[in-house]
Structure 1
Amino acid sequence: MSKVMIIGAGGVGNVVAHKVAQLPEVFTEIVLASRTKSKCDAIAESIDRPIKTAAVDADNVPELVALLNQEKPELVINVALPYQDLTIMDACLEAGVHYMDTANYEPLDTAKFEYKWQWAYQEKFEKAGLTALLGSGFDPGATNMFTAYLAKHYFDEISELDIIDVNGGDHGYPFATNFNPEINIREVTAECRHWENGEFVTTPAMSKKAEFTCPDEVGTYNIYRMYHEELESLSKHFPTLKRAQFWMSFGDSYLKHLEVLGNVGMTGIEPIDYNGTQIVPIQFLKALLPDPSTLGPRTKGKTCIGCVVRGVKDGAEKIMYLYQVKDHQDCYQEVKSQAISYTTGVPAMIGAKMILEGHWKKPGVWNMEQLDPDRFMEDMNKYGLPWKVIELDSFNLDQ
């Protein structure tokens, strides 16, 4: 018997619930909890299998503990907001439940993407005999696995890593974000950091641009270097890396809107006074934008996300590219979601499966690349995210 509790009922929570429900032999019982129970109920109604729903405030540790003690799941899949990671981890420790998430903790009042807060829980989880798996989404998550898989099977030593995330989808809106607008905009507007020669080098947000042609006829896109949390753990766990960078595609319309919104203060995270009421500009902006979970039916095109790794095998330098292409409409047909939520939700389900089946169940706090990638990569192929690996003759994004 493996009972699982999913916390969070947004776009990713919807995908996780659907994918978990497809494997009754692994996930025998499912509880879906969120601050808004009606969201959970709507997801549960769309799935051909009984799912229990509950209301819970993920910022409230005693409330979380009470629900965990009542339901007694073996594992919590946290797909709530990254601000809530630590309260959910605290609750899991108190209730004796394994934990996993898809994005690292960040404080509400500052756009800081760091693992230090969660890594600090290592001893607590170890002593409690509980597993905490960090960042089992796509990036971070699958990209960590891609790097680990290439390092294990194709190289003796890796020296350079470029993670490239291209979304070739079009939702038809002048401006919208594919996942939580608050998190998305904080990520994009944060200072860029990349790993070079043993340290992180800081550059202005979106200041380095390159052109990248995706395989499998996905197309050619402008990609921009930005900071993403997996660089922190990958540079730590693969000490031979001399350089590691993260790139994401953005269209001109998205960037122009973001620039204007930033210029007028709408992306700010500090509260301001409006007619005697304190409001946070970016939270107000979020209320004006389309809900990412509603983009599924209108998003056309494909995503292409992968890792280019340079290193040495048997004394010779080589470059390998491992990537995954997903069609937005295929995702919508299967689970009523666009590909951004799908590509995050499927690895979350697989990470949960790895823990419950015992492959990754070991006390402590773990990043994905610290665990064996082979079964996870097999399951990517099995459960909707088939990947390919090719050798490149040359690769250069320095322009």
Structure 2
Amino acid sequence: MSTVLVIGAGGVSSVCVHKMAMNKDIFGDIHLASRTRSKCDAIAASVKERTGVDVATYEIDAEEVPAMINLIKKIGPSLVVNLALPYQDLPIMDACLAAGVDYLDTANYEPKDEAKFEYSWQWAYHDRFKEAGIMALLGSGFDPGVTSIFTMWLKKHKLKTIRTLDILDCNGGDHGQAFATNFNPEINIREVTAPARHWENGEFVETPAMGKRVEFDFEAVGPKNMYMMYHEELESLAKFNPEMERARFWMTFGDEYIKHLTVLQNVGMTSIEPMKYKGVEIIPLQFLAAVLPKPETLGETTKGNTNIGCIATGEALDGSGEKTFYIKNICSHEAAYEETGNQAVSYTTGVPAMIGSAMVVQGIWKGEGVFNVEEMDPDPFMDMLNRHGLPWTVEELDGPVEF
């Protein structure tokens, strides 16, 4: 059994810690820290009530590296699981390096002052982690994470090469709010309002945000409008699958979400540029995030399903020509809430964070340096998805799907 330290106390963290506690044979000693200790205490209380497992809690500013180092050394974990904000990836990696402890996250680094998700900053840590003899595992959420592993599983078992890849992320849940985001509002809105980018013929092609919309009929959800946008797994998937001609990411949004977001953009509330209000410097998007409903409060009212998967076309592994496969997971908001007290968007990220952590602490996935999940054997991870609440299916389609 291992000792783990989880950083962050949002919905994803709540799911991850609950699932860790449900796997006491793997995670023997669980510690949870965030800027607001009361949030950690609330998660710990829920975990205790549901599983009987005690979770130790702490207050920490993840951007204060010396304090992080002291906390890690005090606890002595074999793994630090970063479920905080993407801005905090590098400070937490610095602390892990200094303390000599493995690191895992679910989303790549993003500077506070620029909406730019990119792996370059974290990949630059490879030599330092290698010299320290420790591992950093990047992107063990759903997307990135499961979608990346879905792709590599197809490449291991179905396709010799992948010519085209489309990642489809559909949230068919209804939370009853006029406007709310199902994960951190600041990160969600920065992603959605940034220019779209997709991989085509060896380079990224940039198009206007929300500029391409198509309708797709999702199993267990129904027809939904999905929009092409940029997501960080496209960068790592293109790196580890250089033969790909095209890779795109799609996410569904309802008409009400688009209407509210358009108005908020038009009045400047999605800006990340600092401004003065009555002598106080604020960032409009951070203020907006503060007044919107917190994602972790939406679990009880959210009904419906998520449907997230990958459609890949390429040369069949058995030499039978070009084939297309659709691999996906469908997750119930109600079932996720019943099990962990969180809605399915948090659940679909928190469970893979637990599974990735299990891969590392058990030595199933190992290495010295910085690695993306695409570089690991997908099979043990895929097996755990089926056993821990995120079962997947794969089907062969009649041919390529054109959007």
Identity of aligned residues (%): 59
1:255 maps to 258
Matches within 5 A, 1:334-373: 334-373=339-378
Amino acid at match of 1:298: T
> Which residue matches 2:244?
241
Aligned to 1:130: 134
Deviations 1:255-280 (A, max 9, x none): 01000000000000011111111110
Aligned to 1:17: 17
2:334 corresponding residue in structure 1: 329
Following TM superposition, by how much is the alpha carbon of 1:281 offset from its aligned partner in structure 2, in angstroms? 0.2
Report if the CA contact (8 A) 1:179-1:340 is conserved: yes
Q: Which one of 85, 89, 92 corresponds to residue 93 of structure 2?
A: 89
Deviation at 1:397, TM superposition (A): 3.7
State the 1:157 CA deviation: 1.1
Name 2:325's counterpart in structure 1.
320
**Structure 1, gaps ≥5 residues long:** none
Secondary structure at the residue paired with 1:344? Answer: helix
Whichever residue aligns with residue 17 of structure 2, its letter is A
Note the C-alpha offset of 1:315.
4.7
Deviation at 1:395, TM superposition (A): 3.8
Contact kept in structure 2, 1:211 and 1:397, CA below 8 Å: no
What's the CA shift for 1:156?
A: 1.3
In structure 2, stretches of 5+ residues that fail to align are: none
* Separation in 1, partners of 2:159, 2:324: 9
SS in 2 for 1:9: coil
Note the alpha carbon deviations across 1:232-269, whole angstroms, 9 max, x for none.
Answer: 00001001100000000000000010000000000000
Q: Does 1:56 align with 2:23?
A: no
Partner of 2:167: 163
Amino acid paired to 2:57: T
What letter is aligned with 1:98? D
Q: What CA distance in whole angstroms lies between the structure 1 residues aligned with 2:63 and 2:322?
A: 49
The one-letter code matched in structure 1 to 2:112 is L
Deviations 1:100-145 (A, max 9, x none): 0000000000000100000000001111110100010000000000
From 223, 226, 250, the equivalent of 1:223 is 226
Q: Which amino acid aligns with 1:99?
A: Y
1:151 pairs with 2:149:
no
**259, 279, 283: which one pairs with 1:280?**
283
CA distance in 1, matches of 2:141, 2:111: 20
The Cα of 1:288 is off from its aligned counterpart by 1.3
**Cα RMSD between the aligned structures?**
0.7
- Aligned mates of 2:348, 2:250 — CA distance in 1: 17
- Mapped partners of 2:289, 2:359: distance in 1: 34
What is the DSSP-based 3-state SS (H/G/I as helix, E as strand, rest coil) of the residue aligned with 1:110? Answer: coil
TM-score scaled to structure 1, two decimals?
A: 0.99
Is residue 77 of structure 2 the alignment partner of residue 73 of structure 1?
A: yes
Deviations 1:312-346 (A, max 9, x none): 11051100000000000000000000000000000
For 2:33, the equivalent position in structure 1 comes to: 33
Q: Is the 8 A contact 1:226 1:246 kept in 2?
A: yes
Deviation at 1:158, TM superposition (A): 1.0
Normalization by structure 2: what TM-score?
0.98
CA distance, structure 2, for counterparts of residue 218 and residue 276 of structure 1: 48
Distance 1:273 1:227 in 2: 31
CA apart distance, 1:220: 1.1
User: Secondary structure of the residue that 2:300 maps to in structure 1?
Assistant: helix
In the alignment, is the contact (CA less than 8 A) between 1:131 and 1:363 conserved in 2?
Answer: yes
Aligned to 2:197: 193
CA deviation vs aligned residue, 1:145-188 (integer Å, no higher than 9, x gap): 00000011001111110000000000011100000000000000
Q: Quick one: distance in 2 between partners of 1:10 and 1:18?
A: 12
Whether 2:121 is the aligned partner of 1:117: answer: yes
Distance 1:43 1:282 in 2: 27
Following the alignment from structure 1 to structure 2, what is the Cα–Cα distance between the partners of residues 93 and 208? 42
Aligned partners of 1:9 and 1:136: how far apart in 2?
17
How many residues are paired up?
A: 397
Q: Is the 8 A contact 1:210 1:397 kept in 2?
A: no
2:214 corresponds to 1:210: yes
The residue number in structure 2 matching 1:266 is 269
Structure 1 Cα separation of the partners of residues 399 and 298 of structure 2 = 37
What residue number does 1:45 align with?
Answer: 45
Answering whether residue 348 of structure 2 is matched by residue 306 of structure 1, we say no
Q: Distance in 1 between matches of 2:399 and 2:146?
A: 24
Give 3-state SS (helix, strand or coil) of 1:18's partner: helix
What's the secondary structure of 2:360's corresponding residue?
helix
* Partner of residue 290, structure 1: 293
Give the match for residue 139 of structure 1.
143
